[in-house]
Structure 1
């Protein structure tokens, strides 16, 4: 498939023009015109690029790409080395951030909910149809420790649990990655627990004082699944060869 045709299909599927994001979404670095073999990953780091080069991939598709708002615009050092490797090897780089978080079928939030058995999913911010946070419920009430164990089984990673004091968890809100500050909106709605990837110092106090359980399950760990679901779509719908590479990240 032509690289720009693939970009158009992905852009339309994920409705990138509906989002005001922290980075450009879509084809970020142009490589060879024909794309058949794609390496999938969470972040376009050097290790992932090196694997794509070794496997002679035509493209890399990630959640975290390049050119973030607020970073230096100079292409030097680490950024230069990454971009140089992509260009010299003709590897296209596709990246989708918020559009891949919130997609109703393939997104990170939907995929995490499936893994954890969360049903009746709806936007955490009902006034915002593109809300990055979601809210739902479990089929049966869980204790704080039981939810912690469920997260660990699903993600193969022990979450950091801040006990909010409630004896039962029936409702839950979540936002993969760095969505910890949405905990306040969840607590104000009386939701029993909130799950995200990261945690800030203030998150601990909010959870304790507003009476909501908080689980920091890992930024990388909670965002491995959207890009894999997107890769499955590419293989099924467009007959492209896709391989997911999980570069371990403890954060």
Structure 2
């Protein structure tokens, strides 16, 4: 498939221009003109770039790219990563917030679907746009059961902070560093916030609100989007695809 046609498809499907994002979304680094094989990963690291090239990929699609609002200098790690991309001819395509927020293949709708929930509405305001979703169980579920399902389906270490409700009816999902939505969850009466990271200040905020939280890891909660997009490109466009797993444990 022609690279520019694939980029146009991804830009349109993911609506990359709609989000006020620190990430430079879309085609960050141009490579080969023809794309037959596409690698997917959460992060554009030297290791994932090298593994994509070794796997004979023509494009690497990631959630976290190299360029966040522009590069001031091409030195150090930026030089190493860019050199590896250019020498291999890999195209680097990035979808950060657009892949969190997508209603079909996004990380956050994916987190709800691990619990067999479909979104009932948007959630997680970021600069005036919602990037997450919330859903509702038919009957309240113990927080321990919810945590067990997420841990098993994500193959992740999960931690719960049971400051609010322990019987869960409504769930909000914002992957990665989504703890900025704690107060929104509390204001909207969402019983449980599922996210990826939880820091010292987040703990104190959740405790004081109070708001129950389930934390499943930044990396793990953001594997869902790239995997779902990978399957879409396989089924819809007939491209060869593969996933590169480089977990951070965080």
Scaled by the length of structure 2, the TM-score of the pair is 0.94
Is 2:31 aligned against 1:31? yes
Equivalent residue number for residue 156 of structure 2: 157
What's the secondary structure of 2:93's corresponding residue? strand
Equivalent residue number for residue 180 of structure 1: 179
What's the secondary structure of 1:10's corresponding residue? helix
Structure 2: which 5+ runs fail to align? none
Describe how 1:42-191 pairs up with structure 2 within 5 A: 42-69=42-69, 73-124=72-123, 130-191=129-190
Instruction: Give the deviation of 1:65 after TM superposition.
Output: 0.7
Equivalent residue number for residue 2 of structure 1: 2
Describe how 1:178-217 pairs up with structure 2 within 5 A: 178-217=177-216
Structure 2 Cα separation of the partners of residues 247 and 169 of structure 1 = 32
What's the secondary structure of 1:191's corresponding residue? coil
Structure 1 Cα separation of the partners of residues 223 and 164 of structure 2 = 30
Scaled by the length of structure 1, the TM-score of the pair is 0.94
CA deviation profile, 1:59-109 (whole Å, cap 9, x unmatched): 10111111113x862111111111101101111101111111111111111
Structure 1: which 5+ runs fail to align? none
Structure 1 Cα separation of the partners of residues 18 and 93 of structure 2 = 18
Equivalent residue number for residue 223 of structure 2: 224
Relative to structure 1, the CA distance from residue 36 to residue 120 in structure 2 (aligned partners, 3 Å threshold; closer, same or farther) is closer
* Contact 1:162–1:214 (CA under 8 A) maintained in structure 2: yes
Relative to structure 1, the CA distance from residue 185 to residue 240 in structure 2 (aligned partners, 3 Å threshold; closer, same or farther) is same
Relative to structure 1, the CA distance from residue 120 to residue 41 in structure 2 (aligned partners, 3 Å threshold; closer, same or farther) is closer
What's the secondary structure of 2:247's corresponding residue? coil
* Contact 1:151–1:158 (CA under 8 A) maintained in structure 2: no
Equivalent residue number for residue 20 of structure 1: 20
Instruction: Give the deviation of 1:139 after TM superposition.
Output: 3.0
What's the secondary structure of 1:135's corresponding residue? strand
Instruction: Give the deviation of 1:127 after TM superposition.
Output: 11
Instruction: Give the deviation of 1:110 after TM superposition.
Output: 1.2
* Contact 2:109–2:173 (CA under 8 A) maintained in structure 1: no
Structure 1 Cα separation of the partners of residues 77 and 231 of structure 2 = 31
Structure 2 Cα separation of the partners of residues 219 and 13 of structure 1 = 24
Instruction: Give the deviation of 1:152 after TM superposition.
Output: 0.9
What's the secondary structure of 2:130's corresponding residue? coil
Equivalent residue number for residue 250 of structure 1: 249
Relative to structure 1, the CA distance from residue 2 to residue 215 in structure 2 (aligned partners, 3 Å threshold; closer, same or farther) is same
Once superposed, what is the RMSD of the aligned Cα atoms? 1.8
* Contact 1:16–1:25 (CA under 8 A) maintained in structure 2: yes
Instruction: Give the deviation of 1:124 after TM superposition.
Output: 1.7
